[in-house]
Amino acid sequence: MNATQEQLRVKFEQALVAAFGAEYAGVDPILVTASNPKFGDYQANVALSLSGRLGKQPRAIAAAIVEKLDVSEICKPPEIAGPGFINLKLKTEYLEAQLQAIQADSRLGIPATKTPQREVVDFSSPNIAKEMHVGHLRSTIIGDSIARVLEFQGHDVLRLNHVGDWGTQFGMLIAYLREVYPEALTTANALDIGDLVTFYRKAKLRFDADEAFQETARQEVVRLQAGAEDTLHAWKLLCEQSRQEFQVIYDLLDVSVIERGESFYNPLLPTVVEDLEKSGLLVENQGAKCVFVEGFTNREGEPLPLIVQKSDGGYNYATTDLAALRYRIQKDEAKRIIYVTDAGQANHFAQFFKVAGKAGWIPEDVELVHVPFGLVLGEDGKKFKTRSGDTVRLRDLLDEAITRARADLEIRLKEEEREETEEFINKVAEVVGISAVKYADLSQNRTSNYIFSYDKMLDLKGNTAPYMLYAYARIQGISRKGEINFEELGDHAKILLQHETELALAKYLLQLDEVINTVEQDLLPHRLCEYLYELSKKFNQFYDRNQGVRVLDAEEPYRTSRLVLCDLTARTLKLGLSLLGIQVLERM
Give contact residues for ligand ARG (rule: CB under 6 A): 122, 125-127, 162, 164, 321, 324, 339, 341
What minimum distance in Å lies between the beta carbon of 329 and ligand ARG?
A: 14
Give 176 or 373: the residue with its C-beta nearer to ligand ARG.
373
> CA 116, 122, 125: angle at the middle one, nearest 5?
155
What minimum distance in Å lies between the beta carbon of 321 and ligand ARG?
A: 5
Give 122 or 513: the residue with its C-beta nearer to ligand ARG.
122
Question: Which residue in 279, 300, 301 sits closest to 291, CA to CA?
Answer: 279
What minimum distance in Å lies between the beta carbon of 289 and ligand ARG?
A: 20
Give 339 or 454: the residue with its C-beta nearer to ligand ARG.
339
* DSSP character string of 294-306: EEEE-TTSPEEEE
**Rounded distance between C-alpha atoms, residue 588 and residue 576, angstroms:** 19
**Rounded distance between C-alpha atoms, residue 356 and residue 290, angstroms:** 13
What minimum distance in Å lies between the beta carbon of 363 and ligand ARG?
A: 19
- The Cβ-side half-sphere exposure at 335, using a 13 Å CA radius, reads 9
Give 126 or 576: the residue with its C-beta nearer to ligand ARG.
126
Give 129 or 570: the residue with its C-beta nearer to ligand ARG.
129
Give 22 or 258: the residue with its C-beta nearer to ligand ARG.
258
What minimum distance in Å lies between the beta carbon of 345 and ligand ARG?
A: 6
What minimum distance in Å lies between the beta carbon of 246 and ligand ARG?
A: 12
**Rounded distance between C-alpha atoms, residue 369 and residue 367, angstroms:** 7
The gap between the terminal CA atoms of the chain, to the nearest Å, is: 35
Residue sitting closest to ligand ARG (CB): 125
Alpha-helical runs (H) found in 443-482 = 454-457, 465-481
What minimum distance in Å lies between the beta carbon of 381 and ligand ARG?
A: 23
**Rounded distance between C-alpha atoms, residue 321 and residue 413, angstroms:** 52
Give 120 or 473: the residue with its C-beta nearer to ligand ARG.
120
What minimum distance in Å lies between the beta carbon of 518 and ligand ARG?
A: 25
> Can you give the length of the chain in residues?
588
Give 72 or 330: the residue with its C-beta nearer to ligand ARG.
330
What minimum distance in Å lies between the beta carbon of 397 and ligand ARG?
A: 17
- Inter-residue contact 465 to 578 (CB < 8 Å): no
**Rounded distance between C-alpha atoms, residue 506 and residue 512, angstroms:** 11
Q: List the beta strands (DSSP E) in 145-302.
A: 156-161, 258-259, 282-285, 288-297
Give 132 or 509: the residue with its C-beta nearer to ligand ARG.
132
Cis peptide before 557 (omega within 30 of 0): yes
**Rounded distance between C-alpha atoms, residue 86 and residue 298, angstroms:** 52
Question: Which residue in 98, 67, 79 sits closest to 40, CA to CA?
Answer: 79
Q: Which residues are CB-contacts of 534 (< 8 A; sequence separation ≥ 6)?
A: 508
